[in-house]
Structures are given as C-alpha cells and as structure tokens.
Structure 1
Amino acid sequence: MTEFLSPVSKAVLAHKEVLPEGSLGKHIFCHTTSGMPEVKAHGFAIVAVSENRNDINFMGEEVELDAYRKAFYSLYPGNWKRPIFDLGTITKGDSVSDTYFAVQTVLRELLENEVIPIVLGGSQDIGYAQYRAYDTLGKMVNVVNVDSLFDVGDAEKPINNKSYVGKIIVDKPYNLFNYSVLGYQSYLNPPAEIALMEKLFFDPYRLGEITADITYSETIFRDADLAFFDVAAIKRSEYSYKHNSPNGLDGREICALSRYAGISNRISSFGIYELKPFEAVPNGPDMVAQILWYFMEGVAFRVADEDFENEQAYTIYKVPIDDQVLTFKKSKKTGRWWIELPFISNVDNKLKRHTLLPCTYGEYLSATEGEIPERWLKARRKNEV
C-alpha cells in the first residue's frame, strides 16, 4: 500500500504544528517522510487522490488538495474515540487506469483491515475505483451517490466523470445490488438515463424530495455500503464554482446527509469528489472540511441495532395487505424501523443479507392504510431478477 502513497506535504505539516492545542490536526497521525503511521482497525484513513484527467472539462489543471487538509485540521473534534490517519496522496499514474489500480489496492487493504477510507478526490470517476475495492470482499454492495446527476452515461465509451456509474453497472465482476441518487435535478439528466434508473429498479430521489424531508435519507444510507458525495450537488451560491447549478443542496443539508452516512452501521467507505483548485472555489476547503467533520461525527454515534436474530431486541408488527402480510421490525434500542423482504431461495447467496430493508415509521403507517412502500416493491423485483 505504501508504494502508492506520497507523504503529506511539508506545508500541511507546518500548518499542523502551529495549530492550537485541541484542534483536529493535533490528533491526526500523518504519513511523513519518516514513515507511515501504524493504521489501526476501526479508525479513519484519509486518502487524497490528485487525479482529474477523465473530467469532461479537464483543461490541464492540477488538483491541489492541501487547502482541504488545512481546513479540516483547523477544526475541533467532537467526542470521538476513533483515531484519524492521513495517509497522504495518491498522485497521478502514467495512465488514469494506473491511478484507479492504486486507489483500488489501497482502499481494499484498508477495508480488509476494518479501517474506514475517506477519499478526497479530483474527478468523480475515481468513485469507480472506490467501488472496485469491494471486488474481493465477496458480497453485493449498495452505493449511494449525493449528486445532481446520475453519472450513468454511455458505458460503451471510455470512462469519464459523468459515465463511471455505467461502467460500474456493466463491468465484471457484478457486485452492485442497488444504486441510489440523492438530490438529482431532472432538467440536468437525459430522459433516457431517468428511464434506465427506473428500469433497473434503482432509487433516484429528486432534490425537492430530499429537501422536503431530509430525514428520509437516513434509511437510504442505512442500507448502503459506500457513499459518493459530488460537491457539484451543492448550489452555486453556497459552493462558488461555475459548474455548479444555481439550485442544489445548501451547506446544512449536505452536512446533514454526511452525518446520516456516518450513522449508517454499514457504510465502510466515503468519498468526496470534484474537488477543484483552491483558487477556483474560495470557500470550498471550509465546506469540505465540515462535510468530513459531520461524517466522522455520525460514525461516533453509531449504535449496533441490527441483531435480527435476537427477537427480544425488536417489536414485530404484521400488516396484511391484499393476499400478503408485510412484516415490520422496530428496534427497541434506537426506534429505527425495517421491513422484511420474503427470501427467494433461488437467488445468489450474496443477496441473503438484503432480506431486511430499512424504512420509516411513516411507511409503516402507510402500510396500515393499504399502501405498499415503493422501495419494498423495487427491492423485491430486484431479488426476483
């Protein structure tokens, strides 16, 4: 792993030295020219990736991520016990595929050692490498993308930051079980991609749906294994970059989503993408630093409430609808809800863990009035395919 990572820059280390006592920077273990820190299980590992050559707007600019590090180091921690490691930067390889290989290798090793990788990346096609890090873990995965676009694109063409999801869908090995997009804007996405999302039973949520009740996003993240955050999902007035839409998430909403991602007991890697040179986005480093802070805050408040074998830990509710009975489970510890999917015996064994789907109390109430949750219907159809 170390051969792919260059140390944290001297400028960032010098900044760390002059920070006040108690700030995050004083508690972060950094990869320096003296060596790599011993990365311990259950910690966070920050990995910067200065790759952007597959950005459709690439004009030869370099991705400089030191400003994002400095902004994060300058914050103060919450009541956190997990160690934070800054492993340095994966620089551009001879080709973009070389960079992908390096990212995949580094993240895979971290995941196998139960460390949570946090990727600070240039163009969002790096998310493809983040996803491929799960290839050897032997399970199907769910991806959540906070984005104004679906990024499906044309999988027959070379990969770029607006088509990497298409590659995730069609490239072997097939590990993707579900793909959710939070905050997409219809007028920015081709109708064919919107139709494809529905055809594949994926879960797209428009910007208006997310902002109307952001708490619903918690159930989406609760069922996810990895998360992508595209900073272009933030509206231009809050994240001053010319390629952002005038509509989008505001600062509080993007941080709330980040915290929900952290609270999820299943999310094991987290990526923030489309980071531009500091000069292009003056307020970018502070915004990204706070998104990171809220993700770690969420992880600190994780509660293990998924021991479904222990019937004493849950209250079970049976709701008859037409010719079937929906089974809901409510955790006595956290009050969170799940709905049971009927197990289908002829599917791949890797799908067995998807027989319980996170849901809300509101969806339970709707079921008592005869309305089957849409996500339940989609998940069942996927299990039957």
Structure 2
Amino acid sequence: MNLSIFFKPVEPEVYQEVSAPNSFFKAIKVYTDTFPDYEEADIAIIGLSENRGNEDNGGAERAADNVRQALYPLKRGSGSYKIVDLGNLNNGHNLEETYLRIKEVCETLITHNTLPVLIGGTHDLDYGQYQAYESMEKLVNVLSVDASIDIDPNNTEAGEGTESKNHLHKILVHDPNYLLNYSHIGYQSYLIDNTVPALLDKFYFDTYRLGLVNQNINAMEPVIRAADMLSFDIAAIKMDDAPGNRHAQPFGLSGQEACQLCWYAGHSEKLTSAGFYEYNPDWDNERKKTASVIGTMIWYLIEGYYHRTFENDFDSNDFIKYIVPMPSSPSILTFYKAKRSEKWWMEVPNPQVEVVKERQSIVPCDQSDYEMAVKGELPDRWIQTHAKYL
C-alpha cells in the first residue's frame, strides 16, 4: 500500500532550528520532501489532527507539531535507530473515515513489524488504532491510561462531538470481537460513574485507581507487559506537569511517572502500537510544558524499545522455573523468572488453546504473585486471567 497518499509532510518551521548533530531529529528520517521508507523501520511516528470527536478540544489539531518541536531537539538515545516520521495524517471527509485511515495505516505498519506511535487528536481515535488488529486473526490486550474511563453506562450512543467521552463502548461492542483483555491505569474515582469499574469487572477487565499507581508504580509493569496496544490520554497527568488539556486535574500521574510507564511499554516485545491523545496547545503554558512532557514520554517509549530483551523461550536456560504445590484446585502453579531481567510470568490453563492457538497460557506477573502462591493463596491475576478463558 502507498501510505504517502494519506499524509502531508512536516512543515519546515517545526524542525528548522534543530541543528545539533546528536539530536533526535538528525537520527531519524522525517517526511519533508520525500516520504520515508517505513517497511524497514522499527518505529513510525504519525501526527494526528482530527478533533471532531471532542467538541471541547478545538486546538488538538496542532498537537503533533508542538510535540515534535519538543521531541526533535532531545539527544539521540541508545540503540541503532531505525525510526521514521511519516508526517501528519490527512483527515477523512468525516470522523468514521479518519478512523478507517488510522486503521489502514496502523495495520500496514504492524504487519511490517513497525511500531506506530500516534500523536495528537482526540482520544476516540484509538478506535481506529484498535481496528488495525481486526484482520490479524489474534486476540488483543488493550491498555488505556486515563483519568477517566470513557464509557457512559446510561448513554451508550455518543452524540456528534462527544465520541471521545464514550469511545471505550465502541471498542467493547465492536463486531467481530477480538478483545481478550482491557486494562485501565490511573482513573480518578471522583471523575467517573461509580458503576463503571464494577461493569468492567464483570468482564474480568482490570482497573487501577490513581492512588494504587502512585503507591507502587512498579506493580503496573506486568499489566503493561501484557498489552498489545497502548492508548494514553494526557488528562491522566496532573495539571502542574501537563496543563495542556481542557480537563486537566490537580491530581494525576507526575510527568516522571508517565515516562516510567512509557518505558515499560516500549520495553515490552508484545506492544505493537501506541497512541498519545487529547493534548491541546491552547491550554498549555507559555513554555509548552505539556508538549515537553509528551516529547519526553515518547523518547522513553523509544528508549524502552531499544532495550527489549526478547525473553520468550520459557524452556531455555534463560529462565528459572518454579512449581508451587497448592492446597486445592489447581494442584500446582507454575512460575518463570527471567535470569537477566528478573521479570516473572505464570502459567494459566487455557481451555480454548486449540481454538486460539497463538494465545499462550503464560502471562506476565510479578514476584508478589509467586509469594502469594507460596502461602497457598491463588493470585488474583491468575483468577482474572483464567476467567477470561472460560
């Protein structure tokens, strides 16, 4: 597919003042005059300008270029960079056509093992990001980081201009259904209907309040490691660190915590797409603090990517295998610990393994799950995962 027909190049004023030879900009290929070759790239940056899904976010169309101006001058990180910036995606005639364009672009990139990184626009655009997995004949895990959980149990039909407030419903009811798990990090209880977490819990989906994340951000690493797709709403970051959102809150993730989550995401071999939504330059401060935070988050996502360890052969000597006897069914639990990274996994029987052959029953966990099993207690993560397979 000729993806160039969907894009317009990055304007010169975005990069013309970046001259340092060791800058991020100088280490990547940007669509200026010639559309870059994405087929051999590891990562492809994509600017989005669509904002018809949120009538309150009229400045979001300029988000991507503002983030680029913060990202491009940063110093090149580690690894043999094979990164392209494809420019800004042209909007469709209507919102549904924009979703379709995002789907087609992301699907093409993912099939070439290129990680699309979407910047800008409104949060409902992650519906197009999700649709990219439809033709891949695999179940996917979606991870959202957001102060709100964008679903209204009393109004499942989003009106024009409010799609970003209810886009999760579109993902949950999408037909065909290829969603294995949905995880949500950083929600603030006073911003959502109190029935929503319970509703998601009925599907055995995972939700983590902001307080839990602040208390132990390292506990989010296995959650992120299980995700195929990351959807990050900038409203999850507190106002002091990221004022560039109309609904920015005084409480939220710090910029440093957001970068930590992005490093975890980039480091996961399972992650195949990432999107950063709802930044509005009109609400940012004079120094474009929010753009700087997002640019640094993307830098850490990429840094994590180039530190991937590709630990997936659980029968190799790279892992220590632990078999824990249990007092009741199941009679044993099996855990794996990577010698190099010290990350943990556990086996969860999958009765559908003959149907979903590509879905292994070895899932990310952490040491606390192992310690719980040693005490004779079945870890909540095991229970939740097993329930999804039934």
Specify the TM-score bucket, using the shorter chain as the normaliser: over 0.9
Aligned equivalents of 2:5, 2:256: Cα separation in 1: 38
Q: Look up the equivalent residue of 1:266 and give its one-letter code.
A: K
Q: Look up the equivalent residue of 1:99 and give its one-letter code.
A: T
How far did 1:72 drift? 0.3
Aligned equivalents of 2:103, 2:312: Cα separation in 1: 29
SS of the residue 2:25 aligns to: helix
- Corresponding residue number in structure 1 for 2:277: 273
- Corresponding residue number in structure 1 for 2:340: 333
SS of the residue 1:161 aligns to: helix
Q: Look up the equivalent residue of 2:341 and give its one-letter code.
A: T
Aligned equivalents of 2:146, 2:377: Cα separation in 1: 29
Change (3 A) 1:61 1:42: closer
How far did 1:20 drift? 1.4
Aligned equivalents of 1:140, 1:216: Cα separation in 2: 24
How far did 1:303 drift? 0.5
Instruction: Check whether the contact 2:321–2:334 (CA below 8 A) recurs between aligned residues.
Output: no
- Corresponding residue number in structure 1 for 2:157: 156
SS of the residue 2:211 aligns to: helix
Structure 1 residues 201-210 or 41-50, which shifts more?
A: 41-50
1:218 paired with 2:221, answer yes
Aligned equivalents of 1:271, 1:259: Cα separation in 2: 14
1:350 paired with 2:356, answer yes
Aligned equivalents of 1:312, 1:148: Cα separation in 2: 38
How far did 1:285 drift? 1.2
Aligned equivalents of 1:111, 1:323: Cα separation in 2: 40
Change (3 A) 1:260 1:62: closer
Aligned equivalents of 2:364, 2:327: Cα separation in 1: 19
Change (3 A) 1:364 1:26: same
Q: Extract unaligned runs of 5+ from structure 2.
A: none
Cα RMSD for the two superposed structures: 1.9
1:136 paired with 2:138, answer no
1:381 paired with 2:387, answer yes
How far did 1:206 drift? 0.7
* Structure-1-length-normalised TM-score: 0.93
Instruction: Check whether the contact 1:185–1:206 (CA below 8 A) recurs between aligned residues.
Output: yes
How far did 1:191 drift? 1.7
Match of 1:168 among 171, 177, 183: 171
Change (3 A) 1:383 1:352: farther
Change (3 A) 1:351 1:170: farther
1:179 paired with 2:186, answer no
Structure 1 residues 147-166: Cα deviation after superposition (integer angstroms, max 9, x where no partner): 11111234333471121111
- Corresponding residue number in structure 1 for 2:20: 20
Aligned equivalents of 2:309, 2:55: Cα separation in 1: 41
1:236 paired with 2:239, answer yes
Q: Look up the equivalent residue of 1:139 and give its one-letter code.
A: K
Aligned equivalents of 2:317, 2:84: Cα separation in 1: 38
Aligned equivalents of 1:252, 1:60: Cα separation in 2: 25
Structure 1 residues 238-289: Cα deviation after superposition (integer angstroms, max 9, x where no partner): 1124411111001111110010111111001111110212564531111111
Instruction: Check whether the contact 2:346–2:362 (CA below 8 A) recurs between aligned residues.
Output: yes
Instruction: Check whether the contact 1:8–1:88 (CA below 8 A) recurs between aligned residues.
Output: yes
Structure 1 residues 343-364: Cα deviation after superposition (integer angstroms, max 9, x where no partner): 314x672365241121111111
- Corresponding residue number in structure 2 for 1:8: 10
Q: Look up the equivalent residue of 1:251 and give its one-letter code.
A: G
Q: Extract unaligned runs of 5+ from structure 1.
A: none
Instruction: Check whether the contact 1:351–1:383 (CA below 8 A) recurs between aligned residues.
Output: no
Aligned equivalents of 1:311, 1:61: Cα separation in 2: 49
Change (3 A) 1:321 1:298: farther
Q: Look up the equivalent residue of 1:250 and give its one-letter code.
A: S
